[in-house]
Amino acid sequence: MNEELKKYILNHISEEDEVLKKLNRETHVNIYHPRQLSGHLQGKTLEMFSKMIKPDNILELGTFTGYSAICLAKGLSANGKLHTVELNDEFEGIIKRYIKLSGFEDKITLHIGDALDIIPDFDIMFDLVFIDANKSKYLDYYKAVFDKVKPGAYIIADNVIWDTKILDKEVKAGDYFTKGIIEFNEFVKNDTRVEKLIFPLRDGMMLIRKNLV
């Protein structure tokens, strides 16, 4: 996105709250690859989606430092819960600290481990799933969560444009992330069980709605 346009947009949306602003700053100062953090524009988008859906149960795959989890939790129903799964246990401290600061400590449960090992243990039907974990496994995550998503509910997948590498004529050998994103996008494109839409926001977000029947 053009930087001038980006600044204009950020200047005309609701301000980033203080907890998220502090988390954003600390992530960029202390954490390797801070670009993985959703940031204000995408975070506000996730918050708005969540508030429109008013989910009882949210599943997030890929917590990173907790920014997107906090944004999504803002739209939970009164008794709603968010389960977020992060593979890297080094992030556990910062995630839990900011979940507590956000006031969502009773609504957000952090699970540390491989999402594909954890997903089968959930005896929950989800209203909203946000996929933002290992790009090479996106299709595996989609297949693993699909039967745990309510009819009419939503899956949001991040990074589906993947820095436009999805347009490459040939995927470089060993580039499993790009290969995984392309396989996921093609599978969902042809999946008649869902409606789908790609937002060209940041690195691309795919909004997927599971059919009612």
Kindly list the domain boundaries of the chain, sorted by start residue.
3-210
Express each pLDDT in 75-124 by its tens digit: 999 999 999 999 999 999 999 999 999 999 999 999 999 999 999 999 99
User: Which residue(s) pair with 206 in the sheet?
Assistant: 157, 198
Chain Cα centroid distance, residue 165: 20
Stated pTM of the model: 0.95
Cβ atoms of residues 208 and 157 within 8 Å:
yes
Per-residue pLDDT at 20 exceeds 80: yes
Question: What per-residue confidence (pLDDT) applies to 171?
Answer: 86
Q: What is the pLDDT of residue 170?
A: 86
The whole-number pLDDT of residue 176 equals: 93
**pLDDT of 1 over the 80 cut:** no
Q: Residues 41, 43, 47, 49: is their CA dihedral positive or negative?
A: positive
Q: Mean pLDDT, to the nearest integer, of 208-213?
A: 94
pLDDT value at position 35?
A: 83
DSSP 60: E
What is the tens place of the pLDDT at every residue in 46-84?
999 999 999 999 999 999 999 999 999 999 999 999 999
Q: Which residue has the higher pLDDT, 89 or 36?
A: 89
Mean pLDDT of 125-133: 98
Architecture label for domain 3-210: 3-Layer(aba) Sandwich (3.40)
Contacts of 193 (CB under 8 A, 6+ apart): 146, 210, 211
